[in-house]
Each structure stands twice: as structure tokens, then as C-alpha cells.
């Protein structure tokens, strides 16, 4: 069967799987009895009476043998792994790892989060007192009916899941200390900051997620959340929603006695424009504050916005099978299994194979980032002007023309990229740095800006880091990331840019693009005809291969007429 046909068949299985539901009455398993591999459906009542449905995967166990419990949580608008031959069991990494763990002797429970699949209730936004407590009820059920392994008088429990399934892990660890280890893939630590960066709504993602939610669970979407989201998308603002997003987020519970209570292997995508790598950096800091063992692994993809980002793989969300850490190619699934076996089975050798911090693929850069030794390199940003909301809108046409022109005059950097330029039909640009030898940029840059010459209040401009290479003809945006900036007026302000990772070759030019349009924020810009100038300074997380190897160019002068 071809790959498209296989994918279509699996999608049909996933959709049809939600049509019927039959539970098996709870049965007490004794550790004195042998059990054989099988899977069956069950249910548990949440604290508020909501019925949570789940599928229990029973491993092969000998008499007297117990096993750790691994809880699998699904993503937004999906449902649990009802059977091994399913969307999760065959295509999505969290489900495949959970299925393999079951075959290797773990108890596995995959459950429908409230409002999705066969579970009752409304779809909220991962509230610790609701969705987080639902996980506790699943653990209660498992402890009562299954021979779960224990350590220090507590059941041994782990969790795995991507996106929405990662968000519920963050909520669950805030309310239940029985969970020992988490694997949140490409999730958030601050949902307000992720969906409304710098008070600008990610309209394309919000539209896509809303459509998916209503298509899958049309009668279960929380009406207050939906109304608040629409209000934000169309610029009217809803303080209730934004406050809810912050209150339910991990970062609001850092410090003191209310932080995360489990160890975590955080996995985040560098090209993920829904939940950028900044979210994992903030989560890592939160787990560290709580004294937990937290490790961070960068993958290439994550959430991929259809029509704006191009790649080969599963639509909307994807994780590649291999990563590079300390110069070594490692299987992503093997790293995750080593983490689970290390934390839940006490396998010290497996745990030692899990990188503490792997972002750049370069051992020197990774080590410096892990120790927090990457200081931002600050330099001035000359004043540049964006004179039209069209600035950046036609780049999908202009960039191929750049490359075509380079065929006539190859192997040189276009002359006009050597100095700052204002933006009209093309983005405004500021060249920042040209390395004398290969150098990493890895982390979250910051900018301190002042806006001027705006023709309206709260004008929105979009900032992207890009690299021009001699002979390429045009630029490449680093990791597809864009940061919206809503100018508050003439007062200076500071903004964290989306985290990036790239290796700069000697002679390449790292620059900043300033645009009046982004296809990730189609309804959030200032509209056609916006005029705005920005100036200030930028801090870059640059990592040289050796001390003193950075070769910085002088801050460029402002462009003529600015």
C-alpha cells in the first residue's frame, strides 16, 4: 500500500474509532497471577462526575511481577489510542512509543481528554483543577485495579504526549506528586504568550485550531473560551480569556511550593511557530527552580502551519526520527525510551544516554547553553522605516526573482544587502553580523526598540532574523520564526524574539527584517498603508567555536532618508 493510501486508511480507522464505545467492567488484577498481553476499554469518573474514557494496554507479566504505568495523552482535536492499529499506534511518535512500551512490559493507559473522543465534558484549555485532576483519577483507577510497580510507597507513573497532550502533563504535575517522569513534546509553558505574543493574536493558528476543534467536537467546545478567542482575533480584547490562559499555565506556578513535582524530558521544535522554543526554555527554568531533573532536546519541526511552512512528513505536526547531539546521530524514540526506562525502571545506563541539553547539534555550543554561559552580544539598530503594509507580502514572488538574478551575477552578496534599507514593497533590512569563521546563533535574541513616524496607535510590525549567503541570491529566514511587535507609542520597550538556531558560515550576513505583514498573523497587522519606524538595539546569542573568535562588524549607519 502506498504512503498516501496507508495514511488515508489510518485516518479512516481513527475517525470510525470514535463511533462506538464499549467498556469492560473493572477487574482487580493480582500481582500473584500471570497476565497476558491484551487491551480493553474502561472509564473513570472525574471529581466533578465527568466520565473519562480510556483504553488499558495490559502487558505480559509473570506471577509476582509488577510494571510501571505509562499514561498517553493525545493532541488537540484527536482522541486516544484505542487500538494498536490506529493513528497514534502507527504514525505519531508518542503513540508508537507508548505501544512499544506496552510490548516491553509497561502498563499503558491512553485516555480521551474531556470533551474529545468518548469522554464527556467541555473542551477547556488544560485547567489544573479539571484536566490535571482527570489524570489523577486515571492514576487512582490504575492503582486500584492493576499491579503497578511501587517505589518508596508510591506508584511508578510516567506520561507522554504532544501539544495538548503535553499541556495536560504540565497541569497534572502541578496537582499530583505521584507522577515521576514526563515527556511533553512541543507544548507550552505560557499559553497566553504562545497564542498572543506581545499582545498580537496568532490568527492563522487560532483559526485552524478552532476549525479543527469544532469539526471533531462541535458540541463540546467551551462557549466562553470560543467567544473570548473570537473577540481577541478581531481585536476587541477579552481580559477574562487572557487571564485564564496565564492562570492555567506552568510558568504561573513556578517557585514556592506549587511548582512541577515530576522530572521532565522537554522536546521542542525549532521551526514550531505555534509553540516556539522559548516555551521550552521557560519550562526548563521552571523545572530547575523546583529542583527537578529536566532535560531539553530540540527537534526540527513540531507544529507546522499549512500553507506557510513546507516540509515532508505528517500534516500539521511532525517530529523527525533522528537528531544530532554532541556530533552524534541519535534516534529520537530511543532517547525517549531511555528516559522512561531510566526514570521508571531505574535503568541508570539508559538514563546516562539521555542528553542534558541538545539544541544546536554542536558539542561546544550545547555545553555553553546548558551552563547558561551564552551572554547576549548587543549592538545598535539604526532607524529603518516600513512604509506600507505590503512590505513582506510579496516575498514568495520576490525571493525567487532574487535567485534568478543571482544566476547572472553568481557567487556574490547582493550589493544592497550590505547596508540598511527601508521597506516598501520589500521588507526593511538591517545587516547585523558577519562572522570571520563558522559561528552559532542559538537562543532567544532580545530587542530594545522605540517606534516613531507611526500613522496610527498600536501599529504592528513583524521582526525576523535572516541570513544572506554569497551566491544564494536571497535570504533564508531562521527557523521560519517571526515576532510581532505592537508599538505602544513613542516610549522605549523591550521584546524577546522567537528563539532560533543556525550555524553561520564565514562571510555570511546575519540581518534583521522589519515587515508590515506576516502570513502567520493575517488579521493581526495594521492593515495596508501603515507607516512606522523602529530603532534601538538588539542582543544576539552568538556562540563562537573558540574564545575570542567572534568578528563583529560595526553598527551600520541609518539608511538615507530615514
Determine the Cα–Cα distance for residues 349 and 329; give it in Å rounded to an integer.
18
* Same-domain check for residues 153 and 290: yes
Q: Are 506 and 433 in contact (CB under 8 A)?
A: no
Q: Using the 8-state DSSP alphabet, how is residue 129 labeled?
A: I
Determine the Cα–Cα distance for residues 191 and 194; give it in Å rounded to an integer.
5
* Same-domain check for residues 265 and 292: yes
How many alpha carbons lie under 13 Å from residue 114 in its C-beta half-sphere?
Answer: 27
In the 3-class helix/strand/coil scheme, how is 30-66 assigned residue by residue? Answer: CCCCCECCEEEEEEEECCCCCEEEEEEEECCECCCCC
* Same-domain check for residues 343 and 398: no
Cell numbers placing 445: 535574541
pLDDT value of position 562? 43
133 φ, ψ (degrees, to nearest 5): -70, -25
Q: ∠370-376-381 over CA atoms, to 5°? A: 150
Q: Are 184 and 266 in contact (CB under 8 A)?
A: yes
Handedness of CA 223, 229, 232, 237 (dihedral sign): positive
In the 3-class helix/strand/coil scheme, how is 450-475 assigned residue by residue? Answer: EEECCCCCCCEEEEEEEEECCCCCCE
Q: In this structure, is residue 363 part of a structural domain? A: no
* Same-domain check for residues 146 and 231: yes
* Same-domain check for residues 425 and 291: no
pLDDT value of position 55? 98
CB atoms within 10 A of CB 88: 29
Structural domain that includes position 508? 377-543
The total of structural domains in the chain comes to 2
Q: In this structure, is residue 366 part of a structural domain? A: no
pLDDT value of position 529? 58
Q: In this structure, is residue 505 part of a structural domain? A: yes
* Same-domain check for residues 293 and 432: no
* Same-domain check for residues 316 and 351: yes
Q: In this structure, is residue 372 part of a structural domain? A: no
End-of-domain residue from the set 358, 389, 422? 358
DSSP secondary structure string, 320-377?
Answer: -SEEEETTEEEEHHHHHHHHHHHHHS--HHHHHTS-SEESSS-HHHHHHHHTT----E
What is each CA distance from 318 to 92, 152, 163, 300, in whole angstroms? 8, 38, 11, 9
* Same-domain check for residues 23 and 65: yes
Q: Closest Cα partner for 382 from 527, 504, 554? A: 554
Q: In this structure, is residue 45 part of a structural domain? A: yes
Per-residue pLDDT of the chain (562 residues; tens, 9 = 90+): 444 444 444 444 443 343 345 566 566 666 678 889 999 999 999 999 999 999 999 999 999 899 999 999 999 999 999 999 999 999 999 999 999 999 999 999 999 999 999 999 999 888 999 999 999 999 999 999 999 999 999 999 999 999 999 999 999 999 999 999 999 999 999 999 999 999 899 989 998 998 899 999 988 888 888 888 887 777 777 788 899 999 999 999 997 778 999 999 999 999 999 999 999 999 999 999 999 999 999 999 999 998 888 888 788 999 989 999 988 899 999 999 999 999 999 999 999 999 999 998 788 888 888 888 889 999 999 999 998 667 778 888 888 888 887 777 665 666 666 789 898 888 999 999 999 999 999 999 999 999 998 766 678 899 999 999 877 778 999 999 999 998 877 789 999 999 999 999 998 999 999 998 888 887 665 555 578 899 999 999 999 875 444 443 334 444 444 4
* Same-domain check for residues 385 and 331: no
* Same-domain check for residues 433 and 340: no
Q: In this structure, is residue 557 part of a structural domain? A: no
pTM of the complete model beyond 0.85:
yes
Q: Are 190 and 276 in contact (CB under 8 A)?
A: no
Buried b or exposed e, range 410-438, using 16+ CB within 10 angstroms: eeebbeebeebbbbeebbbbbbbbbbeee
How many alpha carbons lie under 13 Å from residue 334 in its C-beta half-sphere?
Answer: 13
Strand partners, 203: none
CATH number at residue 330: 3.40.50.1820
Q: In this structure, is residue 262 part of a structural domain? A: yes
Amino acid at each position: 500500500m502506498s504512503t498516501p493510501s496507508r495514511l488515508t486508511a489510518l485516518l479512516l480507522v481513527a475517525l470510525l474509532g470514535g463511533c462506538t464505545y464499549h467498556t469492560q467492567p473493572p477487574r482487580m488484577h493480582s500481582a500473584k497471577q500471570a497476565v497476558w498481553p491484551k487491551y480493553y476499554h474502561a472509564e473513570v469518573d472525574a471529581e466533578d462526575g465527568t466520565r473519562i474514557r480510556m483504553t488499558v494496554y495490559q502487558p505480559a507479566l509473570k506471577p509476582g511481577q509488577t510494571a510501571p504505568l505509562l499514561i498517553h495523552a493525545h493532541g488537540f482535536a484527536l482522541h486516544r489510542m484505542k487500538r494498536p492499529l490506529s493513528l497514534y499506534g502507527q504514525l505519531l511518535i508518542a503513540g508508537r512509543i507508548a505501544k512499544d512500551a506496552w510490548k516491553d512490559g509497561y502498563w499503558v493507559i491512553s485516555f480521551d481528554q474531556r470533551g474529545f473522543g468518548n469522554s464527556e465534558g467541555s473542551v477547556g484549555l488544560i485547567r489544573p483543577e479539571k484536566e490535571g485532576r482527570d489524570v489523577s483519577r486515571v492514576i487512582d483507577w490504575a492503582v486500584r485495579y492493576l499491579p503497578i510497580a511501587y517505589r518508596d510507597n508510591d506508584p511508578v507513573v510516567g506520561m507522554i504526549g504532544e501539544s495538548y497532550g503535553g499541556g495536560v502533563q504540565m497541569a497534572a504535575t502541578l496537582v499530583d506528586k505521584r507522577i515521576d517522569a514526563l515527556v511533553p513534546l512541543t507544548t507550552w509553558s505560557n499559553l497566553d504568550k504562545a497564542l498572543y505574543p506581545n499582545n498580537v493574536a496568532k490568527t492563522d493558528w487560532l483559526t485552524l485550531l478552532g476549525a479543527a476543534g469544532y469539526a471533531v467536537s462541535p458540541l463540546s467546545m467551551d462557549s466562553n473560551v470560543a467567544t473570548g478567542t473570537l473577540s481577541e482575533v478581531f481585536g476587541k480584547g477579552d481580559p477574562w480569556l487572557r487571564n485564564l490562559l496565564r492562570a492555567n499555565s506552568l510558568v504561573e506556578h513556578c517557585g514556592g511550593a506549587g511548582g512541577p513535582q515530576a522530572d521532565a524530558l522537554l522536546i521542542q521544535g525549532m521551526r514550531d511557530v505555534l509553540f516556539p522554543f522559548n516555551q521550552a526554555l521557560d519550562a526548563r527554568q521552571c523545572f530547575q527552580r523546583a529542583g527537578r531533573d529536566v532535560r531539553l532536546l530540540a527537534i526540527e519541526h513540531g507544529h507546522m502551519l499549512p500553507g506557510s511552512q513546507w516540509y515532508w512528513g505528517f500534516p500539521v505536526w511532525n517530529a523527525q526520527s533522528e537528531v544530532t547531539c554532541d556530533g552524534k546521530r541519535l534516534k529520537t524514540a530511543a532517547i525517549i525510551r531511555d528516559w522512561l526506562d531510566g526514570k521508571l525502571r531505574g535503568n541508570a545506563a539508559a538514563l546516562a544516554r539521555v542528553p542534558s541539553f541538545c539544541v544546536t547539534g554542536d558539542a561546544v555550543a550545547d555545553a555553553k547553553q546548558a551552563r547558561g554561559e551564552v551572554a547576549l552580544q548587543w549592538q545598535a539598530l539604526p532607524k529603518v522605516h516600513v512604509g506600507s503594509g505590503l512590505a513582506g507580502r510579496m516575498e514568495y514572488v520576490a525571493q525567487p526573482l532574487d535567485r534568478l538574478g543571482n544566476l547572472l551575477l553568481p557567487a556574490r552578496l547582493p550589493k544592497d544587502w550590505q547596508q540598511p534599507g527601508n521597506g516598501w514593497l520589500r521588507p526593511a533590512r538591517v545587516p547585523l553580523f558577519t562572522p570571520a569563521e563558522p559561528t552559532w546563533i542559538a537562543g532567544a535574541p532580545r530587542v530594545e526598540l522605540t517606534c516613531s513616524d507611526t500613522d496610527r496607535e498600536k501599529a504592528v510590525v513583524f521582526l525576523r532574523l535572516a541570513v544572506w549567503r554569497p551566491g544564494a541570491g536571497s535570504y533564508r529566514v531562521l527557523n521560519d520564526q517571526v515576532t510581532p511587535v505592537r508599538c505602544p507609542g513613542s516610549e522605549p520597550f523591550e521584546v524577546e524574539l522567537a528563539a532560533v538556531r543556525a550555524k553561520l558560515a564565514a562571510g555570511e550576513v546575519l540581518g534583521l527584517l522589519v515587515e508590515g505583514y506576516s502570513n502567520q498573523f493575517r488579521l493581526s497587522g495594521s492593515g495596508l498603508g501603515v507607516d512606522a519606524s523602529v530603532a534601538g538595539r538588539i542582543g544576539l546569542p552568538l556562540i563562537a567555536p573558540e574564545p575570542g573568535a567572534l568578528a563583529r562588524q560595526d553598527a551600520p549607519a541609518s539608511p538615507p532618508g530615514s
